[in-house]
Amino acid sequence: MQLLTRKFTVDQYHKMADVGILTEDDRVELIKGEIIEMSPIGLRHAAIVNRLTNLLPKKLGDRVIVSIQNPVQLNNNSEPQPDVTLLKPRADFYETKVPTPEDILLIVEVADTTLNYDRDVKIPLYAENGILEVWLIDTNHQSLTLYRQPTKAGYQSIQNLDITHKLSPLAFPDVTINVNEMFGSAIS
Amino acid sequence: MQLLTRKFTVDQYHKMADVGILTEDDRVELIKGEIIEMSPIGLKHAATVKRLNRIFQQKLGNKAIISVQDPIQLNDNSEPQPDVTLLKPRADFYESKVPTPEDILLIVEVADTTFNYDRDIKIPLYAENGILEVWLIDTNHQFITIYRQPNKEGYQIIQTSKEIQNLSLLTFPDVTISTSEIF
């Protein structure tokens, strides 16, 4: 038999931070009640996040808040830290509220070693909690999977794109991004 | 790849209880930094623990403190709750100290559904932390495994009740218990 580890709520998770059981230096996220140690970020992963960090504000300006590796609260027992989250503008930059699904326009996850976990655990969790759009970037295969139309049973629209494709965020159809802009060296 | 869950120290585990993240009603134990939900106790398991409690009380009197399903602290990241622990006598009944390995004369684990987990994870953990003697009672197959001479690699002496009918305690060799009293 498989023994069960104790699961925690978002409130309990925050309390751990309040009393110093978890600290700001802990790279953890709460996924379905489990406190998961996030894997170390490789150079390629970091570079893609850096490219998006610079690219997205250029293309979107003040129409969104670009949030990098910060927590979002999906429900009572999940508070992940996506690589990139596009949030609806808010005067206080979410100083008084952890972003929840209705604030979120797009989540981008960059995966190298964690592709299976991201695809099998986090994407369905985002769908279940009504995240409108997710981009899952596979650094090893230089590809991007586009997830849209969330339902409790998963995303109903899934498209695989490679570096020859371009795409527009659902919320900003007038903005176009080439997949190869995320991979730098890939373009000739 | 297997994602890692966050591990906790005994201090952090206690702090969770202090601030109400864990409560007295939570049936959990800390094993190698993981907070494990203990499985529900079946009737046979419960009866065996009750029987052992009576047997030890009758045979040992005040020579040991019998602790049933209470925590013991093995090291910095393990605080299990064995089914029965025999502790060295102490005037305050361990009110001011969680028992640690040097206080422990015997641990008894009663296993029904958790036999493999107990044998493969908890017994080696007890050996590593110098618990002198452990009895692992398999209620389904009605046999007892006795573990002695702990070292970092495990117990050096392992015997089962198929080989010995009358069990005696390492620390109280004059006390004998027959397996028929336990089952």
Dump pLDDT digits (tens) for B39-94: 889 999 999 999 999 999 999 999 999 999 999 999 999 999 999 999 999 999 99
Q: Tell me the percentage of chain B whose pLDDT exceeds 70.
A: 99
CA gap A154, A129 in Å, rounded: 10
Summarize the confidence of residues A177-184 as an average pLDDT.
Answer: 92
Q: What is the pLDDT of residue A171?
A: 96
Whether residue A182 is predicted with pLDDT greater than 90 in this model: the reply is yes
Whether residue A188 is predicted with pLDDT greater than 50 in this model: the reply is no
Q: CB of A93 within 8 A of CB of A65?
A: yes
Give the model's confidence band at A184: pLDDT under 50 very low, under 70 low, under 90 confident, else very high: confident
- Furthest C-alpha separation in chain B: 53
Minimal CA separation from A35 to chain B, in Å: 5
Measured over the CA atoms of residue A171, residue A111, residue A153 and residue A163, the dihedral's sign is positive
Contact A19 B28 (CB under 8 A): no
Neighbours of A136 (CB within 10 A): 23
Closest to A133 (Cα-Cα) out of A117, A151, A150: A150
Closest to B75 (Cα-Cα) out of B113, B128, B37: B128
Distance set, CA B160 to CA A2, B154, B157 (Å):
25, 16, 10
Q: What is the pLDDT of residue B114?
A: 87
Contact B3 A15 (CB under 8 A): no
Closest to B181 (Cα-Cα) out of B156, B161, B163, B160: B161
Q: With contacts defined as CB-CB under 8 Å, which chain A residues touch B3?
A: 36-37, 39, 114, 117
Give the model's confidence band at B164: pLDDT under 50 very low, under 70 low, under 90 confident, else very high: confident
Whether residue A186 is predicted with pLDDT greater than 50 in this model: the reply is no
Across-strand partners of B151? Answer: B154
Give the model's confidence band at A187: pLDDT under 50 very low, under 70 low, under 90 confident, else very high: very low
Q: DSSP for B144-178?
A: EEEEEEEETTEEEEEEETTT-SEEE-SS-TT-EEE
pTM, 2 dp:
0.88
ipTM of the complex: 0.83
Q: CB of B39 within 8 A of CB of B113?
A: yes
Nearest residue of B to residue A18, measured between CA atoms: B19
Across-strand partners of A30? Answer: A35, A79
Would an 8 Å CB–CB cutoff place B125 in contact with chain A? no
Q: Give the side-chain half-sphere CA count within 13 A for A81.
A: 16
Facing residue for B5 by CB, picked from A16, A22, A36: A36
Give the model's confidence band at B134: pLDDT under 50 very low, under 70 low, under 90 confident, else very high: very high
Measured over the CA atoms of residue B45, residue B140, residue B182 and residue B122, the dihedral's sign is negative
Give the model's confidence band at A185: pLDDT under 50 very low, under 70 low, under 90 confident, else very high: low
Give the model's confidence band at A2: pLDDT under 50 very low, under 70 low, under 90 confident, else very high: low
Q: With contacts defined as CB-CB under 8 Å, which chain A residues touch B39?
A: 1, 3
CA gap B159, B137 in Å, rounded: 12
